[in-house]
Amino acid sequence: MSDTIPIALPSDPPVTVELARALGLTENEYRVIEARLGRRPTYTELGVFSVMWSEHCSYKSSKLHLRQLPHSGRAVVRGPGENAGAIEIGDGWLAVFKIESHNHPSYVEPYQGAATGVGGIIRDILAMGARPIATLNSLKFGDFDYPRMTYLVRGVVGGIGGYGNCVGVPTVGGEASFSKEYNKNILVNVFCLGLARKGELMSASAKSVGSAVIYAGSATGRDGIHGASLLASAEFDSAEKSKRPSVQVGDPFMGKILIEACLEAFATGAVEACQDMGAAGLTSSSSELAARGGLGIELDLDKVPLREPALTPYEILLSESQERMLLLVCPGREGEVLSVFRKWDLPACVVGRIVAENRWRAFYRGALVADIPVNALTVDAPVYNRPVKARPVARDYSHSSTLCKSRGELEHGEVLRVLIGSPNVASKRWIYRQFDYLVQSNTLVEPGGDAAVLRIKGTQRALAIAVDSNFRLCARDPYIGAVAAVCEAALNVACVGATPVGITDCLNYGSPERPEVMWEFARSVEGIRDAALALEIPVVSGNVSFYNETDGQPIPPTPTIAVVGVLNERAHRLSSYFKRADDAVALVKGGKLRLAATAYEALLEQKRSGVSFGWVLPPIEPELVKATVDALSEAAALGIVSSAHDVSEGGIGVALVECCFNPNGVLGVEVSLDGLDELGVGEALFAEGTPLVIVSLPEANLERAAKVFTDRGLEFKTLGKVKNEPKLTVKDLIDEDCNALWEVYHRALPRRLGEHV
């Protein structure tokens, strides 16, 4: 061990408890740092600890809870703990995927915040040795009449499209919701899927003493400093404009070159490990690579490419400049890798070495400026079991068949039109039409359906991906809401005929220092655990985003769930829309219908100025969802079902409308809801449920299909028929022109944004 004590620079401020607090550390954490080092840290070292012990990097408030999630499975190749999860999907291929948040930066600077969110998650997939082939996004915005909201919507959508379209990775779908609870804290969660050959997966773990540490990509600047510790790990207040310098700036063209250069470098066999320089930049990537391998690392900061010559060690180590990767290369093979990056005209250089001693050291102008035990920054970072405080949750189920008659504010057709024209239900075409979803030529099912489907070239297989969240359910009951999010994402994948194989989650909450928030978080994790176990889908990667609150107002608990599914025969994929006239229309149902926490309830409460109707939630039975998922996959493989569409936001009526929107020409449907006896027929029209799926199929297949579903304990109720005439007819309730409904559905979002369509 070196006897040299790191030096402080003349320009460094004095290290005090007050300075530690300003950097996001507590007084107790500062005292622990002094004890670990056996001395007072330098300013550079204090900055390093502040980012590595931040909530964003250390997961210090969530680790204890996340350990209960099911991570293993027969097909799992890589679970949580590295850059992304990986699942074996057949024909020698691995699906590599993860979802992450970029919430705070996107509120401060929406275009760059969203753009760098896309770039960051793409590089996480790239660091695994996989080629990124698709992204999804889950967006939560506030009310349109809230100041800046239109600016935020346009900026975020523009940033996702601006980066994704230029980097050459298709944005194939997602979801977007609007609610006043997100007025001051929007959420931008981005998922990425990649493909890697079995046996060619990269790790993020140092393997050999003497391995070269190669920095590749853009030069380092001052953007993003303390983005992990002070922007992503603290709540907002009225001074958020001062945080603008913490938002990174993306360069998608550099990002595209970096993808190709890294994949070519990996193919040489000289690269032992790789990590994206994301949150906490060079500090986190270097320390995590060393710690995972039980080794140490030494960095020469004079070798780091800089955009500005006057950067200090503190700034170099904490910068979160984009489009940068850190590679560990076998001793003696540095030249092979550097020549690849030279070919792509991409900056790359050796900036350090892996050492046997378990230390993280940084040198600047020949002097030691940081010397810290590697584990002190990583595995030995603080872990907190924070207090929880439950709030009351009603779980009994009640209903009344006379509710619709007693209210009578709106007739059913008008309710339907209002619902399909509301931002949460209406088409998100205005959003996804700004994305290139066809680049790479793998996209088989485009945005707008239940799940995107992507071919795996050279095989008959395809991958289905979907992302879901349900803020209304989670606000009412975080456990049921989390169960529902997992189940709905799995159902969406199954509705295109795929079998779900893996989950990644992005968990968005307020401050973990609030016992009520920690209770919401803990209950959500329990819900994800129970649903994942019942559905037999492992959780292989994820992200936690705390401190989503402003001026003491937290967002609703918002767990976002992405599910990846496999279609063994891509020709068996299903659409979400009706295919042909005279097909029978049926409802697959498990469990109970609900009106609580639905778009219908929100509409009625708005009409009644916030007066609640007292509806409470029925339980969700994941076992019935598992049965539905298996039945849909079997029905698709047998070719007996033409389409399948999950009933979600807006209920059965909205789902029927959406099924009529065949892109080759709007169809119609004539149905009866008689026999749905739990609710009045009028209420059932707008009821939601999990599982609840509308399917269409040739009448000749009804008996076989019914057996597939009922043998698994599900209800299979024939509702009516698809019609050529574009009219939605629900017996005794609805008689609407589907072309007119199409106009309402597709023009609602542009109209609110002031677009002329």
Q: Locate 349 and state its tokens.
A: 């250089």
- For 154, 301, 368, 430, the CA distances from 365, given in Å and listed in that order, are 45, 8, 9, 53
pLDDT of residue 228: 60
Distance CA 262, CA 21 (A): 39
Per-residue pLDDT at 636: 97
In a domain, 528, yes or no: no
pLDDT of residue 409: 61
Q: What is the pLDDT of residues 259-308, one digit of tens each?
A: 999 999 999 999 999 999 988 899 999 999 999 999 999 999 999 999 98
Residue 167: CB atoms within 10 A of its CB come to 26
Q: What percent of the chain has pLDDT over 70?
A: 93
Instruction: Report the distance separating Cα 581 and Cα 662, nearest Å.
Output: 11
Least Cα distance to 510 among 234, 212, 126, 118 occurs for 234
Give the distance, in angstroms, between the CA of residue 311 and the centroid of all CA atoms in the same chain.
34
Tokens of 514: 């609030």
Kindly state the DSSP code that residue 165 receives in the 8-state scheme: H
Residue 741 within any structural domain of the chain: yes
The answer as to whether 58 is a domain residue is yes
Least Cα distance to 423 among 151, 153, 112, 726 occurs for: 153
Q: Is 645 considered catalytic here?
A: no
Joined together, the tokens standing for residue 721 give: 């028929």
Whether 29 has a pLDDT exceeding 60, the answer reads yes
Task: Give dist(CA 171, CA 692) in Å, integer.
Answer: 27
DSSP 33: H
Torsion of CA 124, 126, 130, 136, to 10 degrees: 60
Mean pLDDT over 572-587 rounds to 97
**Tens digit of each residue's pLDDT (9 = 90 or more) over 117-130:** 999 999 999 999 99
Using the predicted structure, report yes or no on whether residue 622 has a pLDDT greater than 50: yes
Domain range enclosing 82:
49-377
Cα(10)–Cα(14) distance, rounded to whole angstroms? 10
pLDDT in tens, 648-690: 999 999 999 999 999 999 999 999 998 886 777 788 999 999 9
pLDDT score, position 401:
36
The first and second tokens of residue 121, run together, are 């998650």
Whether residue 480 lies inside any domain: the answer is: no
Q: Is the pLDDT of residue 2 over 60?
A: no
If 0-12 CB within 10 Å is exposed, 13-18 middle and 19+ buried, where does residue 404 land?
A: buried
| Residue 179 in this model has a pLDDT that exceeds 80 | yes
> What pLDDT shows up at residue 279?
86
> Cα–Cα distance between 323 and 321 in angstroms, integer?
7
| Tally of residues, the chain | 757
What pLDDT band is residue 406 in, cutting at 50, 70 and 90?
Answer: very low
**What pLDDT sits at residue 3?**
63
Given 56, 71, 226, 399, the catalytic residue? 56
Give the whole-angstrom CA distance, residue 356 versus residue 373. Answer: 12
Split at pLDDT 50, 70, 90, the class of 396 is very low
Long-range (24+ apart) CB contacts under 8 A made by 180-184 are: 180/142, 180/143, 180/146, 181/142, 181/471, 181/475, 181/555, 181/556, 182/140, 182/141, 182/142, 182/555, 183/142, 183/143, 183/146, 183/149, 184/107, 184/142, 184/236, 184/550, 184/551, 184/553
Q: Compare 409 and 333 and report the one with higher pLDDT.
A: 333
0.85 cut: is pTM over it? yes
The domain that holds 645 is classified in CATH as: 3.90.650.10
What is the band of 239 on the pLDDT scale with cuts at 50, 70, 90? very low
Q: Last residue of some domain: 377, 396, 430?
A: 377
Q: Would you state the pLDDT for residue 1?
A: 42
Asked whether residue 619 is domain-assigned, the answer is yes
Measured over the CA atoms of residue 673, residue 498, residue 160 and residue 488, the dihedral's sign is: positive
Smallest CA-to-CA distance from 686 within 654, 720, 646 is with: 654
Strands 212-217 and 324-329 come out as antiparallel
d(CA 406, CA 169): 52
Confidence of residue 224 (pLDDT cuts 50, 70, 90): confident
Mean pLDDT of 576-601: 95
Kindly state the average pLDDT of the residues 362-386: 96
pLDDT higher than 90, residue 614: no
Whether residue 110 is preceded by a cis peptide bond, meaning omega within 30 degrees of 0, is no
Q: What is the DSSP letter of 229?
A: I
Query: At 91, is the pLDDT very low, low, confident or very high (cuts 50, 70, 90)?
Result: very high
Lowest mean pLDDT segment, chosen from 60-74, 382-396, 555-569? 382-396
**Residue 683: what pLDDT?**
86
589-609: pLDDT as tens digits: 998 999 999 999 989 888 776
Q: Which of 196-205, 360-369, 405-414, 612-621 has the lowest mean pLDDT?
A: 405-414
Q: Choose one of 377, 392, 416: the last residue of a domain.
A: 377
Of the chain, the percentage scoring pLDDT greater than 90 comes to 87
Residue 260 buriedness (CB in 10 A; 0-12 / 13-18 / 19+): middle
* DSSP assignment string, 381-418: S-------------------TTHHHHH-SS-HHHHHHH
662 within some domain = yes
Predicted pLDDT of residue 400: 40
Query: Are the beta carbons of 691 and 591 closer than 8 angstroms?
Result: yes
Could you tell me if residue 266 is inside a domain?
Answer: yes
Q: Rounded to whole angstroms, how far apart are CA atoms 142 and 149?
A: 7
Q: 275, 204 in Cβ contact below 8 A?
A: yes
Catalytic residue at 412?
Answer: no
Check residue 618 and give its pLDDT.
87
Dihedral sign, Cα of residue 636, residue 637, residue 640, residue 642? positive
Kindly state whether residue 230 falls inside one of the protein's structural domains.
yes
Q: Would the pLDDT of 115 be above 80?
A: yes
Q: Which of 65, 71, 102, 399 is catalytic?
A: 102
pLDDT digits (tens, 9 = 90+) for 506-559: 999 999 999 999 999 999 999 999 999 999 999 999 999 999 999 989 999 999
Q: Name which of 596, 180, 655 is nearest 604 in CA terms.
A: 596
pLDDT at 610 over 80: no
Q: Which of 377, 394, 425 is the last residue of a domain?
A: 377
Structure tokens at 80: 């949580």
- Specify the amino acid at residue 55: E
CA 699 – CA 702 distance, rounded (Å): 5
Q: Check residue 617 and give its pLDDT.
A: 86
Total of domains in the chain: 2
Q: What is the DSSP string of 698-738?
A: -GGGHHHHHHHHHTTT-EEEEEEEEESS-EEEETTTEEEEH
For the chain, what is the mean pLDDT? 93
